[in-house]
Amino acid sequence: MDTITLGQVEITRVLEWSGPFAPTSAVFPTLTREHWQANESWLSPDHWDPATDMLLARTQSWVLRSEGRIILVDTGIGDDKERQIPVFHRLRTGFLDRLAAAGVQPEQVDLVVNTHAHSDHVGWNTRLVDGEWIPTFPNARYLLHAADATPGLSDPQVHRDSIDPLRHTGQLSTWDGTELRIDANLTLTPAPGHTPGSAVLRLVSGTDRALFIGDIAHSPLQIVEPDHEPCLSDDAPAATATRRRLLAEAADTGALVIPAHFGGSGAAEVKRDGDKFAITGWAAFG
User: Residue 18 or 108: which CB sits closer to Zn ion?
Assistant: 18
User: Residue 262 or 285: which CB sits closer to Zn ion?
Assistant: 262
Residue/partner pairs of 24-27 with CB below 8 Å, 24 or more apart: 24/48, 24/53, 24/54, 24/55, 24/219, 25/53, 26/231, 27/55, 27/218, 27/230, 27/231, 27/232
Q: How far is the CB of 259 from Zn ion (least distance, A)?
A: 9
Q: How many angstroms separate the CA atoms of 96 and 93, rounded?
A: 8
User: Residue 79 or 120: which CB sits closer to Zn ion?
Assistant: 120
Which DSSP letter does residue 160 get? I
From candidates 12, 75, 104, 120, binder to Zn ion by CB under 5 A: 120
Stretch that binds Zn ion, among 116-124, 166-174, 181-189, 192-200 (CB under 5 A): 116-124
**Type and span of the H or E element at 272:** strand 268-273
User: Residue 73 or 251: which CB sits closer to Zn ion?
Assistant: 73
Stretch that binds Zn ion, among 92-100, 209-217, 240-248, 266-274 (CB under 5 A): 209-217
Stretch that binds Zn ion, among 42-50, 176-184, 213-221, 278-286 (CB under 5 A): 213-221
Tell me if 229 contacts Zn ion by CB under 5 A: no
Q: How far is the CB of 67 from Zn ion (least distance, A)?
A: 28
From candidates 161, 215, 225, 229, binder to Zn ion by CB under 5 A: 215
Query: How many residues interact with Zn ion (rule CB under 5 A)?
Result: 2
Q: How many angstroms separate the CA atoms of 85 and 118, rounded?
A: 12
Q: How far is the CB of 153 from Zn ion (least distance, A)?
A: 16
Q: How far is the CB of 120 from Zn ion (least distance, A)?
A: 4
Q: Count the residues in the chain.
A: 286
Q: How far is the CB of 41 from Zn ion (least distance, A)?
A: 26
Q: How many angstroms separate the CA atoms of 142 and 139, rounded?
A: 10
**Type and span of the H or E element at 27:** helix 24-27
The pairing of strands 199-205 and 208-214 is antiparallel
Q: Which residues pair with 212 in a beta bridge?
A: 201, 258
Which DSSP letter does residue 74 get? -
Q: How far is the CB of 261 from Zn ion (least distance, A)?
A: 6
User: Which residues contact Zn ion by CB under 5 A?
Assistant: 120, 215
